[in-house]
Amino acid sequence: MGKGRGLGLGLGLGLLLLLAGCGAPSLDHHEWKAVSPKLDNRPDLTDVAFIDDKNGWVVGSKSTLLRTEDGGETWKAGTVRLDSDSRFVSVSFSGPEGWLGGEPRRLLHTVDGGKSWSTISLDRRIPGNPIKVSALGPGTAEVVLDAGLVLKTVNGGKNWKLLTPASAGGIRSAQRMPDGSYWVVSTRGGSYLQWKPGDPQWTNYERTSSRRIQSMGFSDELHGWMINQGGEMQVSSDGGKSWTPSRSVILNGIGLLDADYIPGGARLWAVGGNGTLIVSADGGKSWQGDDLPDVKTNLLNVAFIGDKGFVLGQNGLLLKYQPPAK
């Protein structure tokens, strides 16, 4: 998952309010533990990807690269030579070949599992910064630019083909589906759009809530989520064909920023401002909070990859999911 977005501020898990006005109950156990490395530059951590069961990467602002070789239990800083700092927002691997995107207009490529990275140049006539990269096989990748364009290479970035026949306009987040289609959210959050291979143009869907869309995504072909400003959420269980009515999960201006289902769609976790970390086991109807009293920083991303789960936040915060004992 790599999504660029603004940040909502909150009042902490102890003050989360549900639509009914009652306090969000805390879980009986903590399902997340801190695995943050010591980082003096306190970057925002934005995206995570794994090469195999043990080896993975986390990326972030200030040209941050973190690597794990033990499945995410410990992390250490990686290195990449750049002419200036970048905000990395998306990373993806297919075996040892990986791609890394960010701003200002930064695209990196590795074929050796991240031991070395090379800079890939994009045609200057094509506008936008990479906000989503997808490694698809040897030499093959797709890149989404925040100008609303999707590019594809099949020769390791030497040449690129424009996949989408037209631009979706400015976008703030993008999601690639297994069938090669894309969902994106407009920069202003007034609508979301879909494109499928072969479509002559993007299909635009107006938001159904009075609040602007903050972000959206899918955990698999069926289970999707949409976050609106002010702590409002909608979910889909049919691949985006329909969405539940908007529900104010959190009141008092606490903002949600990202969400993801545990594989299989059983539980939906959401994160946001000031340490907000909540979970629903019933499709978003009711929520519980995983109380993290010492975490007051904004949580930017939650991602489940196979049996692994991670929360990424500001100031170098990194949490790892630990399933409750059965």
Q: What are the chain's domains?
A: 13-321 (2.130.10.10)
Residue 121: per-residue pLDDT: 93
Residue 97: per-residue pLDDT: 98
% of the chain at pLDDT higher than 70: 90
User: Confidence band (pLDDT; 50, 70, 90) for 24?
Assistant: low
Residue 283: per-residue pLDDT: 84
Residue 9: per-residue pLDDT: 28
Distance between CA 212 and CA 230 in Å, rounded? 9
- Cβ-contact 131, 151 below 8 angstroms: no
- Mean pLDDT over 90-98 rounds to 98
- Does the pLDDT value for residue 18 go beyond 60? no
% of the chain at pLDDT higher than 90: 74
pLDDT in tens, 182-213: 999 999 999 999 999 999 999 999 999 999 99
Distance between CA 114 and CA 230 in Å, rounded? 38
Structure tokens at 208: 């159904």
- Does the pLDDT value for residue 6 go beyond 60? no
Residue 25: per-residue pLDDT: 64
Find all residues with CB under 8 Å of 97, minimum gap 6, and list them.
109, 110, 111, 135, 138, 139
pTM exceeds 0.85, yes or no: yes
Mean pLDDT taken over the chain: 89
Question: Which of 310, 321, 315, 323 minimizes the C-alpha distance to 58?
Answer: 310
The larger pLDDT score, comparing residue 283 to residue 229, is at 229
Strands laid side by side in the 299-305 sheet: 32-34, 318-321, 308-313, 299-305
- Mean pLDDT over 101-112 rounds to 96
Residue 265: per-residue pLDDT: 77
Longest Cα–Cα distance in the chain: 56
Half-sphere exposure at residue 170, Cβ-oriented, CA atoms within 13 angstroms = 6
Taken in order 297, 298, 300, 301, is the CA torsion positive or negative? positive
| CB count in 10 Å sphere of residue 256 | 26
Residue 30: per-residue pLDDT: 82
**CB-based contacts of 157-161 (< 8 A; 24+ apart in sequence):** 157/107, 157/109, 157/120, 160/122, 160/123, 160/126
- Does the pLDDT value for residue 39 go beyond 50? yes
Pick from 58-62, 78-82, 207-211 the range whose average pLDDT is largest. Answer: 58-62
- Does the pLDDT value for residue 12 go beyond 90? no
- Mean pLDDT over 278-292 rounds to 87
- Mean pLDDT over 247-265 rounds to 83
The larger pLDDT score, comparing residue 128 to residue 14, is at 128
- Does the pLDDT value for residue 8 go beyond 90? no
State residue 120 phi and psi, 5-degree precision: -105, 130
